[in-house]
Structure 1
Amino acid sequence: MGTFHLLALEDNIEYQDVLRDMLAQYPGADCLNVDIISSIATLEALIASGDHIDVFLCDISLGDGKPTGIDLVRRHFPAGSGTQVVYISGHIEYCTPVYETEHAYFLLKPIKQADFNAAIDKALKNLQGTDYTPVAIQHGGAVTMLNPAEIEYIESDRRKVRLYAAPGEVLETYATLGQMIDMLPDDFVQCHKSYIVNMAHISELRTASVLLRSGVEVPVSQRQRKVIRDLFYRYVGLNAQ
């Protein structure tokens, strides 16, 4: 593991000290080059200088009349930028608006060290996408080695399954959903008797479905609704409530 630049934007000076303590206690602290700043102007000056930010730890509410952390992420770290965003807030009402942007985790103040560690672990895991072991998919007489992170969802159709990968690739192979779950990482959950979804691609939980960032809506069975909600909340860091 190399060294990653973590930049934290927190306008509350006292909470900056909390973050420093948590970062010092993080088990992988040696792999982090940490900067903690208090102003949007400093953030924008760093970006303008070409400073690369691997992990952006950002408070959401930054003062009356100022852009929110969500605004800043939308402006400076859009989907595909490579920067892993971890939101921090004392306001639970932000847990839905954060899904307007791509992010790794949402931490609710007061933050527990275990949740903080999980958030940084997730961000670093995302940066090291090669941690996923590629899966071999046989289809049409060929074998494709596919990175699980690229798979959005899987659909069962009798004795076959179709894997929908980003961007727009579809692979069909003979298998069951049970076999697919066994070969994929824990990010994948069966949400319906005919569907598996990759939680990393979910942008919104709905009553009877999940909406993916690609705009695709995947059904969730009534039996699985609470299971999927609990698993997804844990996945994005909302289990602290």
Structure 2
Amino acid sequence: MYKVGICDDNIAFGSQMEKYLEEYAKREAIPLDIVIFGSGSEYLKYLQAEAPIDILFLDIELEEKINGIFVGKKIRMDLRNEITQIVYVSALEEYAIQLFQNRPMDFLIKPIKQEDIDKIMNNYIHVFGKKEKHVFEYRVGKNQYRIGYDDIIYFQSTGRKVEIVTYDKRIDFYSSMDEIEKQLNKEIFWRIHKSYIINNRYIKEFSATEIGLENAIKLPISRTYREEIKKKILQDKMQRRG
């Protein structure tokens, strides 16, 4: 599912955009979670508590001081968010230079038509559509980050803190293993213990009580997951032989 935001102080325009997106989602059989914001401050407040939106249709001429250019700077500069793709929407064409530093995906001139939305969404899905299969997203403070699945050897938890372990670094952030497990591709990441989730591509050896990973890493397998992991390893070996 893709999360799509519409930030515009014109209620009628926001509703029309929502209809276009719903029509696209229905026709293409692509699930969209559509969120409408009536102001820039409303969207920024949302960001403090929620994960970043995938694609944001952002009006430039918002009525308040927090206009679309300000919101774009906040997304890119302050929050260091490169995940959200910004599509600026305006009734004017004179903003090109001002928008450049906010790295928008596209720019639409009002009035908007169904085919405009179709083109934007098709382009987004073509370029970014597989991100959920290859990237893990996490938050440190107010900043949102992404790390490729291939870079992650395993996750480890201690209390409320989770650590991502890669070849050359360790990344700490606050979450729970249950929440992380929900986000991950279960064909790639296996839960082996209440405190460990591993990337199975890095498995080097396996015994009844522990798994050996690359970099000479050895992690315990709890009784809860022992039989399940054994079956997965056998299935994986069979698939590779086949």
TM-score for the superposition, normalised by structure 1: 0.48
Of structures 1 and 2, the one with the larger relative CO (CA 8 A, separation 6+) is 1
Query: Max radius of gyration: which structure?
Result: 2
